[in-house]
Amino acid sequence: MKSVSIIIPAYNVAGYIEVCLDSILSQTYTDFEVIVVDDGSTDATGHITDGYASLDDRVKVIHLSNQGVSAARNAGIQAAAGMFFLFFDGDDFIEPGTLADLVAEIRDKGADVLIYGYHRYGGGQITQTVYPVFGEGLYEGEAVITELLSRFVGCSAESINRWVRGEKDSFYIENPALWRCMARASLIRENSLTFDVRLKVGEDTVFMSDLLSCAASCYVIHKCYYYLVYRESSVIAVYEKDAAAKLEGKQRLVDSRGDLTKRVLLRSGTDITPFWQGSVIMSVLELAFLYTKGKSVGMPFSRKYGAWLSYAKRPEVRETVSSLKLKFRFSVRYVPFLMLKLGLHFPLFLCAALLNLARYDFVRE
């Protein structure tokens, strides 16, 4: 049995996968396996990864028809045999010495999960260095949920009141990407954790939260090992600009978060609903602005409104809006939430359209 299984879903990353695999195979720590899941790539990704597998028996390649990143990672989990799991993306890469450090840390601390920092990388250079927002050290028991999971699963309803007051970083959510953590394989296997195949985006949020809700301990280290490479053609970059795709993604995420909340409640007795209610409410505004960007959606105004309303009027969304304890403030930011509370959906959607015409940039700072 290998110590570490590195699971890499890969879809059309022919221009990046070699750098990714080279950064792994050149590690000084060698007791690992790499499981690349080619998710029906239409470029040379499958051919390139097969070439690596033929030269290094630590590399295994699974070829699937295109089923999405969640299904690809699930296939990787099923094939993995290591004691510790890492989930990397095929267009990113890691620091030399990463595996040696991570294995030593997780063994030394006896933790179920290890969380570390990362670099954003673009144009051949580091553009941002991101350390975990949590203090460095060991988190155990209930603190894993209340202090760590709570910052990954979403933002709270109270975040909205902080934003209305103009507080900085009110909607900050710690990046829940799986490539910034190492986990004991037994934690995943014994709890039958899998990625939600309904999700094409946001699957990391749910899986990371599931994982932490099962962990007895988690160690946070303030050191960066991973390089997150930005590219315009990435799934998330395309998704952020596509109103229909984002609507579908958020609809599915509402369902998935609901199922997650039930699982965590059964495991720990903790209701995590308050941790993510703000995200659901803010998504109503995000979608309104995205759907009213005129020609970008390619449908009549009435159909745009109807599509957006299908999210705004979901029972789970209406319940969340109804439960929002909005604190009055003399601020223009107060207005859209008051309109939501009063059920003034069309005026709110119309306001978003007018603000788009005025080139207002809706940003969660």
pLDDT of 11 above 60: yes
Alpha carbon distance 261, 50 (integer Å): 40
Listing DSSP states for 274-300 in one string gives HHHHHHHHHHHHHHHHHHTSGGGT-S-
Three-class SS state of 107: helix
Give the pLDDT of residue 331.
85
Alpha carbon distance 263, 308 (integer Å): 29
Other Cβ atoms closer than 10 A to 288: 28
Q: Is the Cβ–Cβ distance between 115 and 132 less than 8 Å?
A: yes
Q: Domains in the chain, ordered, with CATH?
A: 4-132+174-236 (3.90.550.10)
Q: Which helix (H) or strand (E) holds 15?
A: none
Q: How is residue 91 written in tokens?
A: 């267009």
Give the pLDDT of residue 230.
87
pLDDT of 193 above 90: yes
Give the pLDDT mean for 98-114.
98
Other Cβ atoms closer than 10 A to 300: 9
**Bridge partners of residue 115, in order along the sequence:** 181, 220
Among 87, 75, 4, which residue's Cα sits nearest to residue 39? 75
**32-46, 258-272, 297-311: the lowest-pLDDT one:** 297-311
Burial (CB count within 10 angstroms: exposed 0-12, middle 13-18, buried 19+), residue 266: exposed
Give the pLDDT of residue 235.
62
pLDDT of 234 above 70: no
pLDDT of 286 above 60: yes
Query: What does the pLDDT look like over 293-339, one tens digit per residue?
Result: 855 556 888 999 999 999 999 999 999 999 999 988 888 889 999 99
Give residue 364's pLDDT band: very low, low, confident or very high (50, 70, 90): low
Answer left, alpha or beta for residue 86, where phi above 0 means left and psi between -120 and 50 means alpha: beta
Give the pLDDT of residue 239.
60
Percent of the chain residues past pLDDT 70, beyond the cut:
95
Give the pLDDT of residue 240.
65
**Bridge partners of residue 184, in order along the sequence:** 84
Query: What does the pLDDT look like over 89-104, one tens digit per residue?
Result: 999 999 999 999 999 9
* Radius of gyration of the chain measured on its C-alpha atoms: 21
Query: What does the pLDDT look like over 181-192, one tens digit per residue?
Result: 999 999 999 999
pLDDT of 222 above 70: yes
